[in-house]
Structure 1
Amino acid sequence: MVAIPVRNEAERIGACLGALAAQEGIGAGGLGVVLCLNNCSDGTAWVVASLRPSLRMPVRVVERAFAQANAGWARREAMEAAALWLEEGDAPDGVILTTDADSRVPADWVARNLAAITDGVDAVAGRIALDADEAARLPAALHARGRLEGTYEALLTEIEARIDPLPHDPWPRHWTTSGASLAVRLAAYRQVGGMPPLAIGEDRAFVSSLLTSDARVRHDPQVTVVTSGRLDGRAPGGAADTMKLRCEVPESPCDVRLEPLPRALFRFAWRRRLRRLNAAGRFDRTRLWAPWLGIPDDLAHSIACLPGPGARLAAVEAASPSLAYRPLLPAELPAQIRSARAALSLLRALARRRVRPRVPRLAAPVAAHGQPPMERPGNA
């Protein structure tokens, strides 16, 4: 079941629905679409009504007029309707997919998402590519910055995968978390309470809630959608506004996850160590991790009582001043890329020699007075 929030997309909804109707590798009747038309004031509803008889799939339309509507609220409305549709059909093992009305999915989008979930994960995050014609009209400086950010993101992603490998999300993988391409098991969707109705970042918050609940999320590089490169977006604070800001303020900060390499190495190493302590049943020995991360004893004991490793890891990262994110500025990216390439070359060389990667001893980037250096993660 595909859920799509729609607001004033008369010019693009036809291409979106046509791409979904052209899906391959799924059985007849295996796909339905829910459109949440929220506060539409153009001809979107008329376009949808005219297209429905020719589509090779059932389409349900939910129309909403709500003055306080936002992107997260609209996506939630669409996904809730999709969940109810699956439950009406007694499909507890069903899957909800979501994309955007200004996006076009490839013919294998549904099949690839379902294949990944069949392999044993609970959710799949796909990658995003800008529409080539619209991207060509964007400023050259924006493309140059995007290439730098994309290069550094790819380096950090592989470094993380080598330092803190996850069986369900192996390398190659990516970091993208976008509502333009998400798929989730119905049971996992219900477990975390559905899509949060946030004005900005509902997709990232949703995936974070899945990870906190120990759902297995795959960042599949083979799942990609093409989305709009316009600067006049429908969701305030969304991708279009981000690109517009970067055109107007070239030195605006990068995504928070693009942090300096030493901090990223510190984070990845501690994630690995915390996972190993949890797997060994030693997480409640808070002296093994809390003082090193600047977390008070009482808070550390509360974190150790949380029900699962995902919740504990999220709580540690939220509580530790040593793990607070500090985003980079674009001017810092070239030097960080050089350092990341050197670090990755070392990790790859160690892997070829079948030596377990060991991260150099790192002092916490934000350390309390007299705080000791962290233990090497390999000692866990």
Structure 2
Amino acid sequence: MTLPFSAISHSTGYSVKTNSPIHHFYPVIAIPARNEEQRLPLLLSALGSQTWLRATARPIVVKIVINNSTDKSLEMARLALDNQPGLSAEIAVVNFPPDLAHVGSARKLAMDLASSACPAEGGVILTTDADAIPEANWIEANLAAISSGADLVGGCLNGNRKEEAQLGPGFAARARAVMQYSRLCDRLASLIDPLEHDPWPRHSDNTGGSLAIKAQLYQSLGGLPAIPLREDLALVSMARSAGGKLVHPLNVRVEVSARLAGRAQGGMADCLKNWIRAEAEGAPILVEDPERVLARLARRRAIRESADSSCALVELLAPDEPDAPATVKVAEATQLICRIISEVEGTTDAA
């Protein structure tokens, strides 16, 4: 369905340095935004301070989709762009019908616009959220990973410390416990189902808060699916099914908001509110059973090592499970997974 939108362009005339080691890539940034009058300018300021600008003297092309907004996101974005000569931006203002008024539709349009702006060779689409703050080397670090052979790059997401502190010590303890367990699960994955292109140490984030993908791969997949929830993870799964190499370098980092008034139903804000509610009720912290994690990883490895192995089969038969049942207390699960990791490491060392 084609929707009418108004577009406002801000462009600059930068010359191109051809001696940069990453000059042959053409990054285009895709940003969905809804009622982000306060945070969108901060993101644009962070993009305008990217080391990529100094390395290449080439403007950063940005595609912003402001959708179904009732605040001054457009006006504030315009003002912010006036102070960012290094950004060549186009703003699309869209009002999706109610059944399409979600982040999947907005991100798809932003990434499709970014894809259209990419050249036939060397185009890379980077997407982030309107409330995110990428580190100064974000673009260069993503492109360095692409240059090293990656097709997709997931960036490490860290919550805003001031906002997280306001959520209280109980929330902080819960968050630390869950994140520690998540990291241990990924460590186990690196041992049971090792991927040469994505070695340990690494992180495990690959969401819309920081995701880069080769434009040619994005186009070959037909673009991002316009679904209401986890459109980013769906794209990652599609890309991996097609043989795309996903990496998680530790130097690709983005700060994300820890606000409780989110824009996406079922998104980060809802997760934070659930944690706060659980803490107030004294509910135990539950995570996926380590034995279940181990079984999934073993299944993945068996599929990869089989004669009929394919990336698509791995995604079909042993996919990531962001909604896996949480049935084991985190302290117990952490103790058990540490024991499993020690046993696997011992076996690996002995071999």
Asked which structure has the greater CA Rg, the reply is: 1
How many residue pairs align between the two structures?
A: 315
Alignment of 1:347-362 (within 5 A): 347-353=344-350, 355=351
- Aligned-partner Cα distance in 1 for 2:151–2:233: 16
What CA deviation, in whole Å up to 9, does each residue of 1:51-86 have, x standing for no partner? 222211201111101133101111111111111111
1:328 maps to which residue? Answer: 326
- Aligned-partner Cα distance in 1 for 2:113–2:211: 16
Q: How high is the TM-score relative to the length of structure 2?
A: 0.85
Secondary structure of 2:60's match?
A: coil
Deviation at 1:138, TM superposition (A): 0.8
1:66 maps to which residue? Answer: 96
In the alignment, does 2:312 pair up with 1:311?
yes
In the alignment, does 2:185 pair up with 1:153?
no
- Contact 1:128 1:180 (C-alpha < 8 Å) held by counterparts: yes
Secondary structure of 1:11's match?
A: coil
1:269 maps to which residue? Answer: 298
- Aligned-partner Cα distance in 2 for 1:33–1:326: 36
Pick closer, same or farther for the CA change 1:201–1:177 going to 2, 3 Å.
same
1:104 maps to which residue? Answer: 133
- Give the alignment partner of residue 65 of structure 2, picking from 36, 52, 60: 36
Deviation at 1:177, TM superposition (A): 2.4
2:32 maps to which residue? Answer: 5
Q: Which amino acid aligns with 1:207?
A: V
- Aligned-partner Cα distance in 2 for 1:324–1:195: 18
- Contact 1:259 1:325 (C-alpha < 8 Å) held by counterparts: no
What CA deviation, in whole Å up to 9, does each residue of 1:210-259 have, x standing for no partner? 111111111222211001110001112110111112222444986xxx52
In the alignment, does 2:171 pair up with 1:142?
yes
Pick closer, same or farther for the CA change 1:9–1:244 going to 2, 3 Å.
same
The Cα RMSD (Å) is: 2.0
- Aligned-partner Cα distance in 2 for 1:23–1:91: 24
- Contact 1:6 1:101 (C-alpha < 8 Å) held by counterparts: yes
Alignment of 1:134-283 (within 5 A): 134-250=163-279, 251=283, 259-277=288-306, 282-283=307-308
Identify unmatched segments of 5+ residues in structure 2.
1-27
- Give the alignment partner of residue 84 of structure 1, picking from 104, 116, 126: 116
- Aligned-partner Cα distance in 2 for 1:348–1:101: 41
- Contact 2:229 2:266 (C-alpha < 8 Å) held by counterparts: yes
- Contact 1:35 1:61 (C-alpha < 8 Å) held by counterparts: yes
- Aligned-partner Cα distance in 1 for 2:206–2:245: 14
- Aligned-partner Cα distance in 1 for 2:330–2:81: 47
Q: Which amino acid aligns with 1:39?
A: N
Secondary structure of 1:222's match?
A: coil
Q: Percent identity?
A: 32
- Contact 1:317 1:324 (C-alpha < 8 Å) held by counterparts: no
- Aligned-partner Cα distance in 2 for 1:253–1:141: 11
- Contact 2:154 2:246 (C-alpha < 8 Å) held by counterparts: yes
Secondary structure of 2:216's match?
A: helix
Q: How high is the TM-score relative to the length of structure 1?
A: 0.78
- Aligned-partner Cα distance in 1 for 2:65–2:349: 50
